[in-house]
Structure 1
Amino acid sequence: MDPLPASLAQAETPAAVIDLDRMQHNISRMQQRMDALGVAFRPHAKTSKCIPVVQAQIAAGARGITVSTLKEAEHFFAAGIADILYAVGMVPGKLAQALALRRQGCDLKILCDSVASAEAIVACGAAHGEAFEVWIEIDSDGHRSGIRADEPALLQVARVLHEGGARLGGVMTHAGSSYDLDTPAALAAMAEQERAACVLAAQRLRAAGLPCPVVSVGSTPTALSASQLDGVTEVRAGVYVFFDLVMRNIGVCREQDIALSVLTTVIGHQPEKGWAIVDAGWMAMSRDRGTQKQKQDFGYGQVCDAAGQVLEGYTLVGANQEHGILARSGEPDRDIAARFPLGTVLRILPNHACATGAQFPAYRACRADGTTERWERVHGW
């Protein structure tokens, strides 16, 4: 079994580890693809919630970022990143927080998908002399939120915003149902469906005499599967920076591209069951079982050696709060105690990088030479 990098030898486990070479390769791959397609790229920071990761994405060519909480927006703005899309539907109770960010100089864009939300935004803006920049969320696949591109409500919402003094910044969509696909043809078709819906919404707004400068689409699977993005101005994607086992099963990355892993230690055995017990339970890995409904189920994660090389057939088959159960698929490994002696350090690749990262206050960012740094994450809302 390959040795543990020296700088991780003293790390307490469980710990979230970023392989920086893999991460940088993932960043470069996505940015080069967006450059080739002729669109701006606005990465979603909700995956890493980490300033050095986002700074690497911007250094590679990203223009602005996407966030999932206003606390993320505050965190990244304090680090000097001003062009921020808050990609969750706005509610009245959060407008004061958004207003404060804009008053501090943050170029914050907010999201809307209903007349009620639009009315609350323009009322707040009028009361405080603020012209919020608002994008309208488009439902391109029935996955979650948004207005369908052909609905009358699209123009109704746009007029409330435009006539009420808000700045109508554009339209955006997220084809989250791409996560349910696993063939290149299906992914390419979903990417085109996502593009076409958002472009249609923009065309309808412009035909009605309403502004729509931005047409924003994206998910990691569709971003890596689109053949052309005519009419789109920018793409958003998040999990690509680390990738995970769900993305591996979808077919947009390989196991050796997954840049996030959880460092764990073997703390016991049940040899008659073929189990090794590790100190990474669901509190470390998260409860996300995203691969369970896919063609290959990795349990709570794929087991790797200390250097991050996949140990074929070994997964975390079960998890309690602080205990993970490591076992071999098929015939139980009766020699598991000898194979993974007490104190053995391993790494586990996660099902969902966003969910696993969220279990930790910081990452161990590991370079090729084995040196590491502690990179803090932001938590909360």
Structure 2
Amino acid sequence: MERKNIAVFLTGGIAVYKAANVVRGLIKKGFKVKVAMSEASQKFITPYTFQALTHEKVYTDLFEITDDNPIPHIELADWTDFALIIPATANIIAKMANGIADDFITTTLLAIDMPKFVVPAMNEKMLLNNATKRNMQTLINDGVKIMSPDTGMLAEGYTGKGRLPKEEEIIEWIINKINSKKDLVGKKVVISAGSTIEPIDPVRYISNYSSGKMGYALAEAAFERGASVTLVSGPTNLLATPGVKINRIKTTKELERKMNEEFKTADIAIMAAAVSDYHVAKVANNKIKKTGEKLTLELVQNPDILKGLGSVKEKQILVGFAAETNNLYENAQNKLLSKHADMIVGNDVSRKDIGFGNDDNEVTLFTLKNSPIKLPKTNKKELSHKILDVIVEKLISKE
């Protein structure tokens, strides 16, 4: 990492106070940091905080001209190797998307032709507003990198999407973006994620504990590496990384139909979804009432989506998951052969610290021509990159 100058642009969100720790962390990582603040951001925290942290003047006024700095916004733009906008409000996102330059921050950003990193933080309703989503897509199309907000307690007192991620996660994300590999440029990657559900009656269904976190992490990692990513997702509260195309499904049959459709033009397909093996033979039209101590349901086997894709694949790389509670190696090896897959990602879902619903995972990769590769426990985002490393090294490079 040779370029070290990062300009941090602070806008008027309540989470702006957290930017102080981000600035401190970037300095510890070896960056030279200069800060610019909008008028609104100064209502929450003063420029003196950031002047003390950076030992640099904080930019606040577009028209503050001095003898040694007659055009301050151009001076900062020329100095900048990377620009970080945090917390990125709906307002600054809209202005950036439309090229508005009406204060120091927006004018400077318009003059910066180096990589820009946007970390949104706002109320969930503002985040999910169609105008905000359009503006974010415009920025993505312009090459701006956008970090997905967290879900949690918002300033309004209720839980929702739009929280600023943890400071250390923001720093890690920036460094990963700067150093990110681009070995999937030109590749279409299709990933299934989450669970499927099979209705019993209008109010009940059969499903499993899959949260979708692993599939969503894989989609984000593949997108970071330059792939065109399509995510086929079962029901979940997760939001896909901006720039990832998402198709939402519920049942196994819907998943099968969408995967078959996307697989035709895919280079890599990763079946990370936890698919229901059976569906109810006859779904009740009305809610089933409690009439006795026992209830018997007739279940019919669902189609084997992974095996179906394996039977028609041509040059596609096909990756499946094996969520096991015992005999992981034996079951994963059998699945690799019987499904005609190129790789099986095996994980032990009996452990409480990894797998379904957890932020961490530990897996073993099984391929036809290599010994099993064990990837130690780590967060699912980092693990996703390690899985993609193996796909690129062991599978794509051997084509």
TM-score range, shorter chain: 0.3 to 0.5
Q: Report the TM-score, using the length of structure 2 for normalisation.
A: 0.31
By relative contact order (CA 8 Å, sep 6+), the higher-ranking structure is: 1
Q: Which has the larger radius of gyration?
A: 2
